[in-house]
Homo-oligomer: A and B are copies of this chain.
Amino acid sequence: MTSTQFYEPVQEELLIVEKKLSDLGDKVSSDAFQTLGELLGNVLEAPGKRTRPAITLLASKFHPHDNEYPHIMATAVELLHIATLIHDDTVDNSDTRRGRATISSTWGKDIAILLGDYVFATSATFVCDTNNVRVIKRFSETIMELSSGELAEILDAYKWDLGRIPYWKRIYNKTASLFCTSAESGAVLSGATESDVQSLKQYGYNVGMAFQVIDDILDFSGTAEEFGKPVGNDLLQGTLTLPSIMLIEKYKDENPIADLFDKGGAKYLERSIEMINNSSIIQDSYSVAQEFCDNAIKSVSHFPDSPYRESLINLASYLMERRT
């Protein structure tokens, strides 16, 4: 399966979203603020997977309606995602993203901070155009959750004995929250029943959690070439993820991660990666991700059969095949 397959039923609407994103860069340029428009255009046109807007659009298809709010909302969730990437790349000192130089590496941290703020605010302005206070409020809470997830990653760095609970909370905040909101808002704006809204929100939550768990697995099992980052990069940054937490659980008293975090040293990193790859940990982590995917599929299984339901199910299944 390719990722384009599950986009198919909303392909045309995704083009509307792309158009709204590129219009935004043009609008800012013509507002006598040319440099900012160009900066923004570079970011908006970088090819992304557009997974979150696809979810918003798909989630809006379970109740008949003829309003354009889901298009606006889909644009907003992608803009919010882009804003978080701009700030995350700034915090992480990343040089490239989606194959292009990051704003912070090209223009410096200061411009990246302010451009990120601008894109955050723009995303919120789009959401306001839906005129739906529930959706607008959920969106603001999501920005709070995204930033507190990223903050937790920094504040909890190099604490090797945290266990699973802070991990679930952190990955909900930094990843699943926006997937949740993408699905929930599409459903709310289509006028779906509250029970259907909750089902789609559950779908978004589970897909988001699976997405991040798989991301965390790939940090150990992928190759540096495939992933564009060194293997074990999370551990190198002091960030515990599911595979490393499993390693600590297995070898509480003699785990190399405690040594790595407390003393540093390449040999502890290598030993950690080796132990994770030579045990059942990767497989066990995939089982956890599979459980989230199964729950996602279960959340939408009671909807009548349609290309949209099929796409949501395919998207969840496709996640498990993700390798980059």
Contacts and interface: CB of A to CB of B under 8 A. Distances in A.
A118 interface: yes
Contacts of A152: 33, 36
Interface string A183-221: 000000000000000000000000000000000000000
A136 interface: yes
Contacts of A150: 114, 117
Interface stretch (A4-12, A122-130, A223-231, A303-311): A122-130
B117 A143 contact: yes
Interface in A48-72: none
A118 B147 CA distance: 5
B143 A137 contact: no
Contacts of A118: 144, 147-148, 151
A195 B247 CA distance: 66
Contacts of A120: 117, 120-121, 143
Interface in A159-196: 169
Interface string A126-161: 011101010011001101101110111011000000
Contacts of A36: 148, 151-152, 155
* Of A32, A118, A140, most B-chain CB atoms within 10 Å: A140
A292 to B, nearest CB: 22
B91 A113 contact: yes
B124 A140 contact: yes
A146 B109 CA distance: 17
A109 B87 CA distance: 11
A30 interface: no
Contact of A90 (B113, B115, B141): B113
Contacts of A91: 110, 113-114
A308 B163 CA distance: 55
Contacts of A140: 121-122, 124-125, 127-128
A279 interface: no
A114 B154 contact: yes
A136 B128 contact: yes
Nearest to A122: B144
A178 B111 CA distance: 21
A2 interface: no
Contact of A111 (B111, B137, B143, B154): B154
Interface string A1-36: 000000000000000000000000000000011011
Contact of A137 (B110, B128, B154): B128
Nearest to A141: B125
Given A115-B151, A128-B133, A133-B136, 8 more contacts: A32-B169, A36-B155, A90-B110, A111-B154, A114-B154, A121-B144, A124-B124, A125-B137
14 contacts: A32-B169, A33-B148, A36-B151, A87-B117, A109-B109, A114-B147, A115-B151, A118-B144, A120-B120, A121-B141, A121-B144, A122-B140, A125-B141, A129-B137
